[in-house]
Amino acid sequence: MIDMLLMLKHRGPDSCGIATSRGVTTAQSPDALDISDLSDYMALGHDGLLITRDQFIPQPLTNPEKSSFLALDGEIYNVKDATELNLSSEEIDTFPSSKLLFHLIERHSNNLLAGLSDILPKIYGDYAFAVMEKNQIFIASDVMGVKPLYWSENEDYVAFASEKKPLWNFGLTNVSTFQPGNLAVINNKGVHLHRIQSLLHPEIIDVRLDEAVTKLRELLFLSLKRRLNRLKVSPIAVSFSGGLDSSLVAKALDMLGKKVILYAVGLDEAHDLQAAEYAASELNLPLRVRILSPDEIESYMSKVVYAIEDVDLMKTGVGIPFYAACEFVNKDKMRVILTGQGSDEIFAGYDKYLRVLINQGYDQLQNELWMDLTQMHQVNLQRDDAIAMANSIELGCPFLDLDLVNAAMSINPRLKIAGPTDLLRKRVLREVAKSVGLSQFIVDKPKKSIQYGSGSEKAIRQLAKSKGFKDPRKFINSVFKQIFTPSSI
């Protein structure tokens, strides 16, 4: 357990703790934990990240009877039914997320499986958590999968963690993603999975474009308010490309009266850097720029591959500029970064969606959007969380608020792509951007994925070629094998 906490220390450099049946032991660092006996067959560990000092409580939490323990990674942004807690909305907003969740759990201690099944659909948040009580452990994650969780078992152990590395180091090789919205009960009889929440494929509701714009703008601002109420930090860092999504997030934050700093990363003369400088000037917001040299790409590749535990070319290409941005944010002593992640999946931003429309029509376009949304945790979110947390930064994804997602997915896809000639796509979101005062330059800026706009994928390909690899994927795989030796996986 100590080794696992040490391997995850980047996710929580400010405290750590271990819970066993005898109670909780906490310390500043895992190697300072005073654990004389970890012979219990169950233990629960946590590394803590201090975002705001007034809401920070070392974990795991426990009750006076030491009969129940909680470790939470992430944030609970709101609870649908505040009356059940006998707490006001203001109290819910000011309670630390871990304390709020533990308060809910304690109310259901007589039947925790039924209680968690009731609680999870009522909370908004980006979270993964574990509860240990009565010789069993319950684990769960948010329905969008913003916070990753992995698990594995063999004939001797069942273990789970926020990353794969500590499980590999523990000797568990067959590591699986814990599916979003699931609840698992782990006891001496094994692992029992329960599907508690699912993203529900909403019925299409035909509304006028102006009605959709008003509703989506309202929900985007609500999403940001929820996150800002919980993540009481100033200034707010925004991963910035000068494109539609990040500009809209930055503009909305500014309209809410928040101090914002924009972070842009790319190779010299990269498209995204030029666009970011123009958009930041228009928004009148401070921009921090990090220009990567070709010589730095190999070093950042190793950092990204270690963080994401993957050899995918797209993930690596996206990961390099995002890693450098998060590193920059960390050096500026900030602990939260907001991104535009999720916008392309719910508003039809990628080129491929236009091809689907042209070849297969609007029904298949809707199906394609839905499939990508439900797979996004594995394609994008695991990567982004891993990279942010590698730099001790909390990731915020305002476009993935459940209310906003449900509303966006219920909109007729004709409001997202007007037809075969709509090369810009994301029609309704561009109208939202226009409604808050963004210029035509930003509103009509074509989508350019970060691995291309930053120049990172081109640099990876050039580096691979210089190393004698025709296929950059084989080069990334060689880096992975150097980092994670066969004995560690």
486 lies in some domain: no
Segment 255-272 shows an average pLDDT of 96
The CATH number linked to 123 is 3.60.20.10
Check whether residue 112 and residue 238 sit in a common domain: no
* Helices first, then strands: H and E counts in the chain: 20, 17
pLDDT computed for residue 230 by the predictor: 81
483 lies in some domain: no
Examine residue 60 and say whether the peptide bond preceding it is cis (omega within 30 degrees of 0).
yes
- pLDDT tens for residues 61-71? 999 888 899 99
- Tell me the sheet residues that pair with 177: 150
Check whether residue 298 and residue 242 sit in a common domain: yes
pLDDT computed for residue 46 by the predictor: 95
Per the prediction, the chain carries an average pLDDT of 92
13 lies in some domain: yes
- Tell me the sheet residues that pair with 185: 138, 192
* Contact call for residues 326 and 390 (beta carbons, < 8 A): yes
Task: Provide the edge-to-edge strand list for the sheet that holds 336-338.
Answer: 287-292, 260-267, 236-239, 336-338, 394-396
Check whether residue 152 and residue 220 sit in a common domain: no
Q: Which helix (H) or strand (E) holds 187?
A: strand 182-187
In 3-state terms, what secondary structure has residue 425? coil
96 lies in some domain: yes
- pLDDT tens for residues 182-218? 999 999 888 999 999 988 888 999 999 999 999 999 9
Q: Which helix (H) or strand (E) holds 119?
A: helix 112-119
Q: Which residue from 315, 307, 318 is spatially nearest to 484, judged by alpha carbons?
A: 307
SS3 for 224-269, per residue? HHHHHHHCCCCCEEEECCCCHHHHHHHHHHHHCCCCEEEEEEEECC
Domain boundary among 195, 227, 245: 195
Q: Is the pLDDT of residue 399 over 80?
A: yes
23 lies in some domain: yes
Residues spanned by the domain of 337: 209-474
Check whether residue 378 and residue 338 sit in a common domain: yes
Q: Which residue from 195, 444, 454 is spatially nearest to 323, judged by alpha carbons?
A: 454
Q: Which residue from 73, 72, 77 is spatially nearest to 105, judged by alpha carbons?
A: 72
Domain boundary among 169, 195, 221: 195
Alpha helices in 377-486 (DSSP H): 382-390, 402-409, 427-435, 440-443, 450-453, 456-466, 472-483
- pLDDT tens for residues 451-482? 999 999 999 999 999 999 999 999 999 999 99
Share of the chain above pLDDT 90, in %: 77
Paired tokens of 224: 């940001």
Q: Is the pLDDT of residue 54 over 70?
A: no
- pLDDT tens for residues 289-333? 999 999 999 999 999 999 999 999 999 999 999 999 999 999 999
pLDDT band at 122 (very low <50, low <70, confident <90, very high): confident
10 lies in some domain: yes
Q: Which residue from 163, 481, 483, 454 is spatially nearest to 296, judged by alpha carbons?
A: 454
Burial environment of residue 42 by CB neighbours within 10 A (0 to 12, 13 to 18, 19 or more): middle
Check whether residue 180 and residue 41 sit in a common domain: yes
CB atoms within 10 A of CB 170: 18
pLDDT computed for residue 86 by the predictor: 64
- pLDDT tens for residues 136-184? 999 999 999 999 999 999 888 899 999 999 999 989 989 999 999 999 9
- Mention every residue, 6+ apart, whose C-beta is less than 8 A from residue 199: 143, 144, 181, 373, 374, 405
Check whether residue 185 and residue 220 sit in a common domain: no
Domain count, the chain: 2
pLDDT computed for residue 162 by the predictor: 97
- pLDDT tens for residues 65-99? 888 999 999 999 877 655 555 666 666 666 788 98
- Tell me the sheet residues that pair with 394: 336
Segment 411-432 shows an average pLDDT of 97
480 lies in some domain: no
Handedness of CA 369, 373, 376, 380 (dihedral sign): positive
Q: List C-alpha distances in Å: 237 to 79, 153, 321, 341, 438.
A: 26, 38, 15, 14, 19
User: Taking the mean position of all CA atoms in its chain, how far away is CA 382?
Assistant: 7
Check whether residue 51 and residue 164 sit in a common domain: yes
The CATH number linked to 373 is 3.40.50.620
Check whether residue 281 and residue 328 sit in a common domain: yes
Check whether residue 177 and residue 115 sit in a common domain: yes
User: Which residue type, as a one-letter code, is found at position 465?
Assistant: K
pLDDT computed for residue 34 by the predictor: 73
* Contact call for residues 126 and 397 (beta carbons, < 8 A): yes
pLDDT band at 339 (very low <50, low <70, confident <90, very high): very high
* Contact call for residues 318 and 341 (beta carbons, < 8 A): no
Check whether residue 275 and residue 161 sit in a common domain: no
d(CA 485, CA 344): 36
Paired tokens of 201: 């494929």
d(CA 116, CA 109): 10
Paired tokens of 446: 């074509």
Q: List C-alpha distances in Å: 126 to 142, 149, 275.
A: 6, 12, 30
d(CA 342, CA 397): 7
Q: Is the pLDDT of residue 13 over 70?
A: yes
